[in-house]
Structure 1
Amino acid sequence: MDTKRHNQRSEQVHLEKVTFLMTLVLVSLLFLLLLLPFWGAIFWACIIGLIFSPMYQRLLRMGKPKPNLAALGTLLICFVIGIIPSLFVIISFFREGASLYNRLKSGEFDIADRIDKVQTAFPSIKNFFDRFDLDINSIQAQLSDFALTSSGYIAQNALALGQGTLQFFVALGLMLYMAFFMLRDGDKLVATLVRALPLGNEREYLLFNKFAEVVRATVKGNLLVAAVQGILGGFIFWVLDIHGALLWGVVMTLLSLIPVIGAGLIWGPVAIYLFAIGELSHGVILVAYGAGVIGLADNILRPLLVGRDTKLPDYIVLLSTLGGFSLFGMNGFVLGPLVAALFIAFWEIFIREFNTSKSGNASME
């Protein structure tokens, strides 16, 4: 009788645990669904918390201010050095994009005419396309449509940016509000997660440290490299009197988030066009500057700032960044390498902890 009662009690406890865990998963999914509309603000609040955490700790140690004041001071520094310049660049980018759209629509800037000039100057290009059965006229039309569509998209979003100013600043305020708590309570949140997750404290701290390390390296490294390449590219376009230098500088900044090939997707075709219209000196300057200065900045800075700190091979950084862009959009330049780094970290833990007996048996034999 006691055994039967004990078994019944064990079954009841098991049922209660299963029911509780299922309810826990359901409630957690519903909570995440509630937060989904604010995903971008929460994501970048976490990024700000991770990147500026050392500065927050330094402010705490300097004059021993209260945590609230230290977090507010850190956010103020972040706002001055990061957000205000970004807002200025974004507004200028949309203004330049709207100007390009008007020039394309009026025919002042004719993509087809420029492609014809390149084709006339380099007949081998047509032969190359013919060899692969590609219709250069179709490609020309597609490029013209793409230029008009993309610039029109920028122009429409410039209008939407003006109309949605209140919504934009609400999202910005929410991000800064969340970042305040990430800075002030970040250590407590990590400790709570370590207690909640059933992975083992040592593994969890290792994974959290890897997470923070990769996020800091990818965000600071990639953004710094992209900003440097965009500034260098916009500068040479301005020196060579190429219209829309600021616009193309921002585009090169965005494309530079893609390792190796980013900025070259802009300055390369422009250099070919300069050669096609007979501006040989400008073309040579742009090629030399693009390969020797813009490209060198990528080859030197990215391995130092990204590859070294994330401890990921260059080809993994490239593939994970491209995959991140395809899956997560602009946030992919952080999430892609982060997923790759966590993948490697999990397998390193598995090899170290679960394959020791095999390696031990092999050595005994």
Structure 2
Amino acid sequence: MEINSSLFRFTLRCILLSLIVLGMVLGKSFLVPLAWALLIGLASIGLVGKIEKITKWNRGVIILIYIVFILGIISLIGLFFFKQISKIFKNLPSISERISLRLQEISNTLGNLGIEIPNAINKDFLNNWVKGHGETILSFISELGLELWSLVLILCFLFFILYYRDIIPRFFQKNITNVNELKFINERFEKSLKLIRSYIFGLLLLTVVSAIMNYVVFLIFGLQFAVFFAVFLAILNLLPWVGNAIGLVVILFFALITQDSALVPLFIFIALFVVNFLQDNVFRPWLVGDKMKVNAFIVFLAIVVGGLIWGVSGMILFIPAAGIVKIILESNEKFRPYAILFSEMEKRLDPAEKRNKEENNDDQTLV
């Protein structure tokens, strides 16, 4: 009877999880803007609250000014990418010609070695392919951003989240009479807010540093559209492992077809490898640190599952969501063991360090 009961609960949880995933997929057009608004809103609550206390202005006016400020930044970023992509598309015929020449060189080299390529690709083929697939390329690029309607929804959701930010604390105060329990919930909520704020601001700083370092590398080796590719690679670097690999392949391919010497792409690869090493081992721990406190496998799983459910937005949003889930699991006595699955492996201490740690814990307990 107990086995049947456990099996029933397990089946029920699987069905519930499947329904949640199905709802997330079907409600993507609504839930993705809401999730972005929640992420930005939770990261902005502290800043908006401080401005409200200092200026004593009306809350709605402050939030409107803040949203206009965010909209201005998004517009500048969008204008930058629009101009850069337009320049790249204007140069597509010359770029396709360089691709054709490169392929012809490879074909001739292989032919001299006795390896015949039956169907050589000429420049007309590439030009026709670019013209015929221009809309496909543009639609793919647009998938990396947000549509206008989604942006409007995000800003609307953000306004209401910031304006009615006091409702949730008031709800808990009215429904939870136990002072200790209420204090515990407030601490967990503040911890989640601190996690999101520090994570977002750390990533923003890391993105700026990454873009500057990438630009210096591209400028040294004379890569065309250096500013665009520097920002492009820095933004893709927000996606651990996956984004950086994709950006690196695109940039090396572009360098290979636009540079006269094949050694230049090799030098760019070596320089970017050094830059990424510095970012991952120096700047990321300094700017972002262990704020997520989630192991690499969970981060990778969040990227894959987020990409399958919500696309590029999911790959970004599911990473801080994993950290919040870990906090929620740690706050519940029943589910606390599951939080271990999200944690990093503990460092092995030698006997002396272990004894000192236990003594410090004992001292803190006595205090």
TM-score range, shorter chain: 0.5 to 0.7
Structure 2 residue 136 is matched with structure 1 residue 153:
yes
Partners of 1:96 and 1:216 in 2: how far apart? 36
Partners of 1:210 and 1:119 in 2: how far apart? 63
Paired letter, 1:63? T
Once the two structures are TM-superposed, the CA of residue 56 in structure 1 deviates from its matched residue by: 0.8
Once the two structures are TM-superposed, the CA of residue 178 in structure 1 deviates from its matched residue by: 2.6
Paired letter, 1:155? L
Partners of 2:254 and 2:24 in 1: how far apart? 48
**Runs of 5+ consecutive residues of structure 1 not aligned to the other structure:** 1-30, 122-135, 162-166, 356-365
**TM-score under structure 1 length normalisation:** 0.61
* Sequence identity (%): 19
Partners of 2:192 and 2:268 in 1: how far apart? 39
Structure 2 residue 91 is matched with structure 1 residue 91:
no
Matched residue of 1:42: which SS?
helix
Once the two structures are TM-superposed, the CA of residue 186 in structure 1 deviates from its matched residue by: 1.5
Q: Paired residue for 1:52? A: 44
Which residue among 93, 97, 111 is the counterpart of 1:108? 97
Once the two structures are TM-superposed, the CA of residue 210 in structure 1 deviates from its matched residue by: 4.7
Q: Do the aligned residues in 2 keep the contact of 1:230 with 1:252 (CA within 8 Å)?
A: yes
Paired letter, 1:263? N
Partners of 2:102 and 2:160 in 1: how far apart? 55
Structure 2 residue 211 is matched with structure 1 residue 222:
no
Which residue among 167, 181, 185 is the counterpart of 2:160? 181
Matched residue of 2:30: which SS?
helix
Q: Do the aligned residues in 1 keep the contact of 2:217 with 2:268 (CA within 8 Å)?
A: yes
Matched residue of 1:74: which SS?
helix
Once the two structures are TM-superposed, the CA of residue 242 in structure 1 deviates from its matched residue by: 2.1
Report the CA distance shift for 1:195/1:118 in structure 2 as closer, same or farther (over 3 A): farther
**TM-score under structure 2 length normalisation:** 0.61
Which residue among 323, 336, 359 is the counterpart of 1:341? 323
**Runs of 5+ consecutive residues of structure 2 not aligned to the other structure:** 1-22, 111-116, 338-367
Which residue among 225, 245, 248 is the counterpart of 2:226? 245
Once the two structures are TM-superposed, the CA of residue 179 in structure 1 deviates from its matched residue by: 1.7
Q: Do the aligned residues in 1 keep the contact of 2:52 with 2:62 (CA within 8 Å)?
A: yes
Structure 2 residue 246 is matched with structure 1 residue 255:
no
Once the two structures are TM-superposed, the CA of residue 95 in structure 1 deviates from its matched residue by: 1.6
Report the CA distance shift for 1:353/1:329 in structure 2 as closer, same or farther (over 3 A): closer
What is the aligned-residue RMSD (CA, Å)?
A: 4.9
Report the CA distance shift for 1:346/1:101 in structure 2 as closer, same or farther (over 3 A): same
Q: Do the aligned residues in 2 keep the contact of 1:194 with 1:205 (CA within 8 Å)?
A: no
Once the two structures are TM-superposed, the CA of residue 58 in structure 1 deviates from its matched residue by: 1.5
Structure 2 residue 284 is matched with structure 1 residue 293:
no
Partners of 1:85 and 1:237 in 2: how far apart? 22
Paired letter, 2:78? L
Q: Do the aligned residues in 2 keep the contact of 1:267 with 1:286 (CA within 8 Å)?
A: no
Once the two structures are TM-superposed, the CA of residue 270 in structure 1 deviates from its matched residue by: 5.0
Matched residue of 1:65: which SS?
coil
Alignment of 1:185-224 (within 5 A): 185-189=164-168, 191-192=170-171, 201=182, 204-205=185-186, 208-224=189-205
Once the two structures are TM-superposed, the CA of residue 33 in structure 1 deviates from its matched residue by: 11
Once the two structures are TM-superposed, the CA of residue 62 in structure 1 deviates from its matched residue by: 1.3
Q: Paired residue for 1:358? A: none
Once the two structures are TM-superposed, the CA of residue 65 in structure 1 deviates from its matched residue by: 1.7
Q: Paired residue for 1:328? A: 310
Paired letter, 2:97? E
Q: Paired residue for 1:25? A: none
Report the CA distance shift for 1:347/1:115 in structure 2 as closer, same or farther (over 3 A): farther
Q: Do the aligned residues in 1 keep the contact of 2:214 with 2:275 (CA within 8 Å)?
A: no
Report the CA distance shift for 1:192/1:305 in structure 2 as closer, same or farther (over 3 A): farther
Q: Paired residue for 1:43? A: 35
